[in-house]
């Protein structure tokens, strides 16, 4: 007898409905985060953009409303580099439950000098990892109030070749911006994997999923003025790259699937289908170095110390 699955094949152009659900996208005003928010808005869900720039958030909401009829989108002020502000940001959500958060916002610096947050943490590590780590503590009561909430952490393909220096997480001894960025994203991914281990141990209904966008370039991204404008010249010059990488609209697909697909499970890693760089989202094996629980546990403890977060609250 042939077994027929009741679930249709995943189609990035035909997303399942999510009416009545509430999703938060950090950094949802630009880049991949914008397209995550735009695509989720088409499902009927309420999508909240977490942004530290009100003007950019307004532009993003206007763009989504112009493209998604009847979209339910709003914004809250969110500055991941300011740990003391996060509890207030979560209060401003004014919801009884949260069905998913996409930890997407990030800072990427190309050149020295090394910069720090107001809390004294290296800027990329402090924003990309520590900010999301601490934010999860404040969001957990809202996530736990949902019957099957998800924490979706946006990693980076750049993290695949990096390794953490647990004795220099703040990059005080050796600061190289591109490497520091890759390590900050790797720290995020370790957090996502370790969070799910702890949620499972606590018998929580919340699941944690890690995703990455592959190679996502502005030059291959469709225009969303004034957020992003792709010129004809940029489109033509980027055409050869489209054989290997993709635009940020496609880079959003793994995160969107991790939020919506009931077949996705906690602890999994999702990325683009073709060499992990482009194409529709698929599950891929958790990278070998990400699967090391001893490193993840040490990073977790260090992150608790650096943020003052309560380990039990974060784990539900």
Q: Which residues have CB under 8 Å from 120's CB, separation 6+?
A: none
Q: Kindly name the residue from 34, 175, 181, 190 that is annotated as catalytic.
A: 181
Does the active-site annotation cover 175?
Answer: no
Q: How far is CA 16 from CA 1, 41, 70, 257, 290, in A?
A: 29, 11, 16, 10, 30
Active site residues: 181
């Amino acid at each position: 007898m042939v077994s027929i699955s009741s679930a249709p094949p995943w189609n990035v152009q035909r997303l399942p409905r999510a009416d009545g659900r509430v999703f938060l996208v950090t950094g949802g005003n630009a880049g991949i985060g914008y397209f995550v928010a735009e695509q989720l808005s088409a499902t009927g869900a309420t999508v909240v953009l977490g942004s530290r720039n009100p003007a950019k958030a307004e532009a993003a909401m206007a763009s989504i409303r112009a493209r998604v009829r009847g979209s339910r989108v709003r914004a809250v002020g969110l500055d991941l580099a300011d740990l003391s502000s996060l509890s207030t940001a979560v209060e401003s959500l004014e919801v009884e439950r949260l069905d998913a958060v996409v930890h997407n916002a990030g800072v990427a610096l190309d050149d020295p000098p090394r910069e720090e947050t107001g809390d004294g943490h290296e800027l990329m590590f402090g924003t990309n990892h520590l900010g999301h780590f601490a934010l999860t503590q404040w969001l957990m009561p809202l996530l736990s109030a949902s019957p099957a909430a998800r924490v979706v952490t946006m990693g980076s393909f750049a993290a695949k070749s990096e390794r953490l220096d647990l004795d220099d997480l703040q990059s005080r001894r050796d600061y190289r911006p591109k490497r520091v960025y890759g390590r900050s994203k790797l720290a995020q991914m370790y957090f996502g994997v370790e969070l799910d281990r702890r949620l499972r141990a606590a018998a929580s209904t919340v699941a944690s999923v890690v995703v990455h966008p592959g190679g996502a370039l502005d030059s291959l991204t469709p225009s969303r003025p004034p957020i992003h404008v792709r010129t004809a010249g940029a489109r033509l010059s980027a055409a050869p790259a489209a054989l290997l990488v993709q635009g940020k609209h496609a880079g959003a697909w793994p995160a969107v699937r991790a939020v919506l697909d009931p077949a996705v499970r906690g602890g999994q890693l999702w990325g683009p289908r073709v060499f992990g760089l482009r194409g529709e989202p698929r599950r891929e094996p958790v990278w070998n170095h990400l699967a090391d629980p001893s490193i993840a546990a040490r990073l977790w403890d260090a992150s608790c110390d650096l943020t003052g977060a309560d380990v039990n609250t974060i784990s539900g």
